[in-house]
Amino acid sequence: MTKLLEVEQLSKSYRHKTGLFSGTKIVALEPLSFSLERGETLAIMGETGSGKSTIARLIAGAEKPSGGEIRLNGKPLQATDYAERCRNIRMIFQDSLRSLNPQITVGKQLKEAVRFNTNWDAATQQQHVVETLRKVGLLPDHYHFYPHMLSSGQQQRVCIARAIVLAPQIIVADEAFVSLDPSIRAQIINLILDLQQDMGISFIFVSHSTEIVKHVADKILIMHRGKMIEFGPTQVLVNHPKETYTRHLLQTGTL
Ligand X SMILES: Nc1ncnc2c1ncn2[C@@H]1O[C@H](COP(=O)(O)OP(=O)(O)OP(=O)(O)O)[C@@H](O)[C@H]1O
Chosen residue from 4, 28, 60, 192 binding ligand X by CB under 6 A:
28
Main-chain phi, psi angles of 80, to 5 degrees? -85, -10
- 145 Cβ contact list (under 8 Å, min separation 6): 105, 106
Determine, following the binding rule CB under 6 A, whether residue 51 of this chain makes contact with ligand X. yes
Q: How many residues bind ligand X (CB under 6 A)?
A: 11
CA distance 196 to 215: 14
Q: Does 54 bind ligand X (CB under 6 A)?
A: yes
∠ Cα 112 113 115 (to 5°)? 65
54 or 109: whose CB is closer to ligand X? 54
Between vectors from CA 138 to CA 135 and to CA 139, what angle results, nearest 5°? 110
By the rule CB under 6 A, 245 interacts with ligand X: no
Considering only the stretches 42-50, 112-120, 137-145, 152-160, report the one whose residues sit in contact with ligand X under the rule CB under 6 A. Answer: 42-50
28, 54 Cβ separation under 8 angstroms: yes
Nearer to ligand X, 53 or 88 (CB): 53
- As measured in angstroms, the least distance from the Cβ of 211 to ligand X is 17
Going 64 to 65 to 66 to 67, the CA torsion angle's sign is negative
Q: Is 32 in the site for ligand X (CB under 6 A)?
A: no
Residue 207 interacting with ligand X (CB under 6 A) = no
Q: Is 50 in the site for ligand X (CB under 6 A)?
A: yes
Answer yes or no whether residue 146 interacts with ligand X by CB under 6 A: no
Torsion of CA 75, 52, 136, 210, to 10 degrees: 130
Smallest distance, ligand X to C-beta of residue 122, A: 40
Residue 48 as a binder of ligand X (CB under 6 A): the answer is yes
Contact between 49 and ligand X by CB under 6 A: the answer reads: yes
User: If binding is defined by CB under 6 A, does position 52 make contact with ligand X?
Assistant: yes
94, 176 Cβ separation under 8 angstroms: yes
- Residues near ligand X (CB under 6 A) are 14, 26, 28, 46, 48-54
